[in-house]
Amino acid sequence: DADVTQTPRNRITKTGKRIMLECSQTKGHDRMYWYRQDPGLGLRLIYYSFDVKDINKGEISDGYSVSRQAQAKFSLSLESAIPNQTALYFCATSEIFGDEQFFGPGTRLTVL
């Protein structure tokens, strides 16, 4: 089984809808991250979490919120989806900051 899983893998939604993307990991890592990938822009950090009690904004957090329900689970929510949030979203984990990150397979989100 994969160490970092994301659900759903693909989602199409409409403008204004609330949507949640979920991430689970079995690596036992405290650090978790949410990124979005857009063509030609690389990956940009949305939120990151030191542990269950510590959540921080990344470089593009506007329009997003997160919840760290447990060490193994980190969810990303779009409260009111808009078309420019159409992107590929990745969850990642690491044992410590500054070290290798392990990525999930991604969620392709389309907002119409």
Partner 1 sequence: GNSVTQMEGPVTLSEEAFLTINCTYTATGYPSLFWYVQYPGEGLQLLLKATKADDKGSNKGFEATYRKETTSFHLEKGSVQVSDSAVYFCALTLMRGSNYKLTFGKGTLLTVNP
Which of residues 16 and 100 has its CB atom nearest to partner 1 in the complex?
100
For binding to partner 1 (CB under 8 A), which residues are involved? 4, 33, 40-45, 48, 58, 90, 92, 97-106
Closest separation in Å from C-beta 79 to partner 1: 24
Q: Which is nearer to partner 1, 41 or 70 (CB)?
A: 41
CB of 50 to partner 1, least distance (A): 9
Of 85 and 101, CB closest to partner 1: 101
Asked if the peptide bond before residue 39 counts as cis, ω within 30 degrees of 0, the response is no
Place of tokens 């980190």: 74
Q: What is the closest distance, in whole angstroms, from the C-beta atom of residue 16 to partner 1 in the complex? A: 29
- Our CB check for partner 1 shows the closer of 38 and 79 to be 38
Q: Which of 73, 39, 74, 76 is nearest to 60 (CA)?
A: 76
Least distance from partner 1 to the Cβ atom of residue 70, Å:
21
User: From CA 59, how far away is CA 102, in angstroms rounded?
Assistant: 20
Map tokens 């990525």 to a residue: 103
Each as own residue / partner, the long-range contacts of residues 56-63 (CB below 8 Å, 24 or more positions apart, any chain) are 58/33, 58/34, 60/36
